Structure 1
Amino acid sequence: MPARFPDKTVAANASDSSSDSLPRTCCLLVARNGRDVWTIGSNVILKNKVHYPGCDVEVANLDFVSEQIETPVSKILYSWRESDRLYTLQERVAGVPLADALPRLSQKDLARIGEQLGSFLAQLRGITNQTMQMLDGRTVIDRRLLKPLAAASEREQEPKVISTDEGVAEALALRIRGHVDETTLARLMARMPTATPFTFSHSDLHEGNVMVSDGQFTGLIDWELAGFYPVWWETVNATPVLDGHLPEELGHPDALKWFDVYHAVRDAPESHETLEKLQEYLGS
């Protein structure tokens, strides 16, 4: 099952490859979008990707999380730049992705995994910040929340610092202005649930990043998108596979309903289904 709100700008250009011709001690797991992930032995992985400003964000995120919560996370062993590539050696999280394990898991297993993952997310939720940002101060980079703006004039209107509900609403409204009339836009944005406190979120909870073993949650992988997001973003953006299995107190059903409408207006404004969804939501 794909992400609830997939980032189509990446999916359109994605290509996968793998190799089974190498010895098992060194195996290519993923080659996608200029990024390779290799296993080295049983307990270490090597990530290799194009270097660009801010590309070492996952290293900073994992170091930060390891200092903030009690539950262990994958430890960065060594990271370095070589020519135009960034290499990172880190501990391998035990188990397999939830996506691979799903056919063998019972509802009882999923309930247990959801509870254990929920306990982990609750620890992250205790880490808050006054502004919506990455650890290095940049605006959050998950394009499923802040879709890239094409026009330079729009980018100039983007709030430089987002520290209030009004700032979040302004940034999100900028991405659908012109898709609906101003009155409808104002009505929709007025119903956006409060985004504060901005909480540290993994921001990529799909079944490929949730690791499990023997019906137990073992950890999360791929922390590149993590940062301080709206308090509701983590569970709103989580894979539907987890619906009904995460602790109720972590859920934000009003935010999920609102973002579902917002997402439709943003990404499919001319769809008849979007119009019906919007009218039903604003009329409720």
Structure 2
Amino acid sequence: MFCLMNPPIENSIVHTGQGRWLLGSSVVCETAIQVPKDALKSWKDDNGVIHCLREVFGDEDASIASRTCGSSESGRIHHAGTSAAVWSLGGAFIKVKAWRHGMQLESDTIRYVNRVSSVPTPEVVYSWVDTDWNRSFLVLKPLKGRTLLQAWETLSIDRRMELASTVARFCKTLALSTSKMLETANGKGIIEPFLTAQPPNSEPSWKPQFLGPYSTYQLQSYLSDPSVTGDTELFYFYHADLGPTNIIVTEDGSIVGIVDWESAAFYPMFWLGTKPLVSAGFFLHSGAERRAWAILLASSLEEEGFASDMVRYLAWKKAVNNRLD
């Protein structure tokens, strides 16, 4: 069911005046000379200006009039359908995502990655859940560089291969962390549309859909086809969205960091090498080369021991779709 959030996700942050923004139903961001005592968190932009987050008091900032007079377009740099939007505010990025109870927060996933590996990630400034508006807010410091998509045309073939090899080694490092469950870092259901059944028509389009957490036995029961999981006993931690917009590089093509960790979780091994070959998120701009990064990364993953398995993926999709019959 196509249904907008209320208010729509693209109206989650409103610029209401000089150095002042409303973030959801409960937080305001303001510039300041010094950090106030009631600040939830503060940071400085590149010009040394202090930005502070604090809680809204009563109807102080959340009035309809205040929001109506403001602009939600100011600073908004990304808007994806009914469930995600991103703003650039005070030298930080603020990601707003649809949220439901039991959902893994990206901030917690990033902290987990930092704890178990040296894979470079953006720094988390602050995060919270706005339960009244069914969405999460995540403030991140930006990584200094440009996306692989932006840099692709300027990189040599050798540099592109080096990048793919480096990303594949990152995947191998993360995969050293294993679980006996198909789950997120904090033991919640995964969000991976390619492995998950389509939501029922009664569900609003913005509402995230979970799969699991499941043990191998529970997963076999869910799919009603033991051959799909085979002899899987362990699941491997994987970013699962390593397209060219989520890899930040320097001018010469060295990796600065990996962003967008919301889908990262423990997956069956076959998914590491298969995902690049089935998701358009791994494609470059349209043209003859649009699948170049996907193919290069899949090849590098295979060299690290994570071969693609389209047969198993198609069997998984068939089993999931059969649940809808």
TM bin, normalised by shorter chain, reads 0.5 to 0.7
Judged with a 3 Å threshold, the aligned counterparts in structure 2 of structure 1 residues 161 and 121 are, in CA distance, closer, same or farther, namely closer
1:250 aligns with 2:304: yes
Counterpart selection for 2:111 from 53, 63, 84: 63
SS of match in other structure, 2:125: strand
Counterpart selection for 2:315 from 258, 262, 272: 262
In the alignment, structure 2 segments of 5+ residues that lack a partner are 3-8, 11-45, 47-73, 203-209, 277-281, 283-290
Residue of structure 2 in register with 1:95 after alignment: 145
| Correspondences of 1:70-219 after superposition (within 5 Å) | 70-82=118-130, 83-84=132-133, 85-148=135-198, 150=200, 162-164=214-216, 166-173=217-224, 190=227, 194-213=231-250, 214-219=252-257
Structure 2: distance between partners of 1:160 and 1:31: 28
TM-score (norm 1): 0.66
Structure 1: distance between partners of 2:274 and 2:193: 14
Structure 1: distance between partners of 2:313 and 2:212: 26
CA shift at 1:126, angstroms? 0.7
Structure 2: distance between partners of 1:90 and 1:159: 27
Structure 2: distance between partners of 1:104 and 1:67: 34
In the alignment, structure 1 segments of 5+ residues that lack a partner are 1-8, 10-14, 17-24, 153-157, 174-185, 270-284
SS of match in other structure, 2:140: strand
Q: Which letter maps to 2:96?
A: N
1:36 aligns with 2:85: yes
TM-score (norm 2): 0.59
> Quick check: 1:134–1:226 contact (8 Å CA) kept in 2?
yes
Which one has a larger percent strand, Structure 1 or Structure 2?
2
**CA distances 1:117-165 after superposition (whole Å, capped 9, x unpaired):** 122111101111111112343332212112246499xxxxx9966322x
Q: Report the RMSD for the aligned CA atoms in angstroms.
A: 3.6
Structure 2: distance between partners of 1:252 and 1:159: 22
Q: Which letter maps to 1:38?
A: W
SS of match in other structure, 1:119: helix
Q: Which letter maps to 2:232?
A: A
**CA distances 1:10-39 after superposition (whole Å, capped 9, x unpaired):** xxxxx99xxxxxxxx974220123422122
Which one has a larger percent helix, Structure 1 or Structure 2?
1
Residue of structure 2 in register with 1:227 after alignment: 265
Structure 1: distance between partners of 2:174 and 2:261: 13
Identity %: 21
> Quick check: 1:73–1:219 contact (8 Å CA) kept in 2?
yes
**Structure with greater contact order relative to length (CA < 8 Å, sep ≥ 6):** 1
Judged with a 3 Å threshold, the aligned counterparts in structure 2 of structure 1 residues 256 and 127 are, in CA distance, closer, same or farther, namely same
Judged with a 3 Å threshold, the aligned counterparts in structure 2 of structure 1 residues 72 and 191 are, in CA distance, closer, same or farther, namely closer
CA shift at 1:79, angstroms? 1.3
SS of match in other structure, 1:233: helix
Structure 2: distance between partners of 1:220 and 1:144: 21
